[in-house]
């Protein structure tokens, strides 16, 4: 099976946890300091297309979990690489040197929405929001319904009273 061969090739060079989720899906977990080397290695194995990059916020465990999804046109497999970094001071190396512009634009979005610092990314200016001075909007401790009720709606207004009732 191709999925098993790929995990074995990676395990020969790096110390990682690998598993097969289902057909065509391989998951690999690694530490953040080995991230860029591992990404260069799998790009040479054929995973040239970075499909997506995302951050999940786990406040109970105190981490931000990064996931990188890369697709190989040659073998038709998707590999998911996961790392964990600290939530209060999130910093990680950028994968711009590995996958180019497609990685750079995803990291710019994650910097704005979650507040992660990417070392080595040439451009981290704001993308969607203008003059936003509060904390990064997609963190779990920023409650949107509280924010909207305080800033946009008025309890005295007849039309808007319904938004103050909890569903």
Helix and strand counts by DSSP (H, E) for the chain: 5, 7
129 with 138: CB under 8 angstroms?
no
Q: What is the DSSP string of 57-93?
A: EETTTTEEEEEEEEE-TTT--EEEEEEEEESSS-EEE
Rounded least distance, CB 87 to another protein, Å = 14
Rounded least distance, CB 33 to another protein, Å = 24
Run of H or E residues at 129 = none
Rounded least distance, CB 85 to another protein, Å = 16
Q: Which is nearer to another protein, 54 or 86 (CB)?
A: 54
Q: Which is nearer to another protein, 13 or 21 (CB)?
A: 21
Q: Which is nearer to another protein, 13 or 54 (CB)?
A: 54
Phi, psi for residue 24 in degrees, rounded to 5: 65, 20
What burial class does residue 122 get, using C-beta atoms within 10 Å of its C-beta: 0-12 exposed, 13-18 middle, 19+ buried? exposed
Rounded least distance, CB 39 to another protein, Å = 14
Run of H or E residues at 44 = helix 35-45
Residues near another protein (CB under 8 A) are 24-25, 48-52, 54, 56-57, 67, 69, 71, 73, 76, 78, 80, 99-102, 104-105, 109, 127-130, 137-138, 144-145, 147-148, 152-153, 159-160, 163
Q: Which is nearer to another protein, 13 or 147 (CB)?
A: 147
Q: Which is nearer to another protein, 57 or 117 (CB)?
A: 57
Rounded least distance, CB 156 to another protein, Å = 13
């Amino acid at each position: 099976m191709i999925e098993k061969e790929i995990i074995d090739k990676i395990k020969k060079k790096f110390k990682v946890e690998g598993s097969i989720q289902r057909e065509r899906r391989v998951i690999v977990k690694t530490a953040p300091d080995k991230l860029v080397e591992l990404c260069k290695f799998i790009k040479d194995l054929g995973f040239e297309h970075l499909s997506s990059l995302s951050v999940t916020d786990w406040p109970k465990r105190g981490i931000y979990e990064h996931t990188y999804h890369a697709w190989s046109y040659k073998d038709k497999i998707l590999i998911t690489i996961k790392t964990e970094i600290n939530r209060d001071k999130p910093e990680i190396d950028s994968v711009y040197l590995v996958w180019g512009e497609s990685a750079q634009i995803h990291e710019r979005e994650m910097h704005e929405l979650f507040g992660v610092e990417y070392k080595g990314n040439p451009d981290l200016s704001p993308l969607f929001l203008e003059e936003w001075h509060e904390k990064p909007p997609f963190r779990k401790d920023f409650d949107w319904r509280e924010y909207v009720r305080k800033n946009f709606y008025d309890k005295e207004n007849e039309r808007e009273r319904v938004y103050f009732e909890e569903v």
